[in-house]
Structure 1
């Protein structure tokens, strides 16, 4: 059990897999990560021309090594793996790590060959992404950053799962430092997800961007 800041969480076994329960929010359903859900399948079927794969260069070359330094629920990372990338999910909170490992284990035992192949391309690392990136043992092709947006009372509430993660981690408001660490990793490119009209992260101008209706990816390139 984790109890901080007047919030309380615990992990429990459920029929569909490991679940995270917010004890201080009894009205919330427990969170279980499912990488084979209809939502994740839609993302994968959308292919390599959607915003995220384009931002990380998968529309040009699929066999790349990507670090998802804001792993969250792992859906973006698993989508990238299903589209051909090798993906390292980096997460520091032990409860989230356990949920991710459970999601990977369940997805890898399904009878769908594409899912099994995607799981084989996913690695989960428990670490502070800032330190891991600064001492990265891999030659990364890309780093994916999807920091939690600060609550300003104006934007719509995130999905319940992300609300739960926000309360569990207290928002992890270190995104500017995370971008600096990602650039220091030597990765060929860093893709940062932002609200469409949000300022650049850390006031750093990107080399390019990929813009959608509700979000954009700012792309930072490193010379090798």
Structure 2
């Protein structure tokens, strides 16, 4: 896991950058703060190494001339078009019932944002200190947006390893309506070539790939399924359409789309 990173900022945003530096330090990340004259496209081209930057729009991850953040405000258009009938994820997660839901594989939080918009009360779990801080900043900024404020009020962020968090919930006999899993790098597949074609990632995901892999190993999320089934009345796994089942376990039901599918596992013996 990344434990040292540089944070670039302009002088007018230095105080905010120092706050991010302190927060990340409290989460085990050593941040070298550098004030630069201008954070522009030329600067990012000349400084291609993985880093953070802070500007008027908050905290960003940057590398190779690109920068990204979990831009929840950019999702507003998608949210306004979404409905319980139009979104396959809504049917898979039974969002019409306004469930309590744990998203144990946070990513950029876009699925959680959609599910909260459609009625779920979401606990978003992320273990990586840098990604969690990016999510936390997006959550904070979304609170000042007239449309998003009510949505993000239904999202709680938890800084924890998902496996540890699920184990803790099970030990406390907590039960939730849904546990949602979307493993970051679902590489194993019965049709490897097809998956590679589907997995042409956006710039955002390219940067996440640089940040998240540890020792070259991709997090497939197999271990999370069994843990999720101990506390979730319904466990929903998002997969590329042709991918093998998570942990090679046959689901109880599937919802199929053109590019992805949702595998559902039902636990009828769990009671709240």
Give me the TM-score of the superposition, normalised by structure 2. Answer: 0.72
Name the CA shift for 1:219/1:157 in 2 (closer, same or farther; >3 Å).
same
Match of 1:147 among 177, 183, 187: 183
Q: CA deviation at 1:161?
A: 0.9
In the alignment, the residues of structure 1 paired with residue 77 and residue 90 of structure 2 have an alpha-carbon distance, to the nearest angstrom, of 15
The answer to whether 1:216 aligns with 2:271 is no
**2:44 aligned partner:** none
In the alignment, the residues of structure 2 paired with residue 83 and residue 65 of structure 1 have an alpha-carbon distance, to the nearest angstrom, of 12
Larger Rg: 2
Alignment root-mean-square deviation, CA: 2.1
Moved more, 163-172 or 141-150: 163-172
Name the CA shift for 1:125/1:179 in 2 (closer, same or farther; >3 Å).
same
**1:190 aligned partner:** 235
In the alignment, the residues of structure 2 paired with residue 18 and residue 161 of structure 1 have an alpha-carbon distance, to the nearest angstrom, of 14
Q: CA deviation at 1:10?
A: 2.8
In the alignment, the residues of structure 1 paired with residue 182 and residue 76 of structure 2 have an alpha-carbon distance, to the nearest angstrom, of 17
Equivalences for residues 15-164 of structure 1 within 5 A: 15-22=56-63, 25=64, 27=65, 29-37=66-74, 39-49=75-85, 50-59=87-96, 61=97, 63-112=98-147, 115-136=148-169, 138-148=174-184, 149-150=186-187, 154-155=196-197, 156-164=199-207
User: Does the aligned pair in 1 maintain the 2:187–2:220 contact within 8 Å?
Assistant: no
Match of 2:225 among 164, 179, 194: 179
Any stretches of 5+ residues in structure 2 without a counterpart? 6-47
User: Does the aligned pair in 1 maintain the 2:50–2:210 contact within 8 Å?
Assistant: no
Moved more, 115-124 or 156-165: 156-165
Q: CA deviation at 1:82?
A: 1.1
Q: Deviations over 1:117-159 (max 9, x none)?
A: 1111110001110111122154211011111222856324211
Give me the TM-score of the superposition, normalised by structure 1. Answer: 0.87
Q: Deviations over 1:170-218 (max 9, x none)?
A: 164241101122112x211011011112221111010001111111000
User: Does the aligned pair in 2 maintain the 1:65–1:142 contact within 8 Å?
Assistant: yes
Name the CA shift for 1:43/1:116 in 2 (closer, same or farther; >3 Å).
closer
Q: CA deviation at 1:105?
A: 0.6
Q: CA deviation at 1:8?
A: 5.4
The structure showing larger relative contact order (alpha-carbon pairs under 8 Å, at least 6 residues apart) is: 1
In the alignment, the residues of structure 2 paired with residue 182 and residue 44 of structure 1 have an alpha-carbon distance, to the nearest angstrom, of 30
In the alignment, the residues of structure 2 paired with residue 91 and residue 117 of structure 1 have an alpha-carbon distance, to the nearest angstrom, of 22
In the alignment, the residues of structure 1 paired with residue 258 and residue 250 of structure 2 have an alpha-carbon distance, to the nearest angstrom, of 20
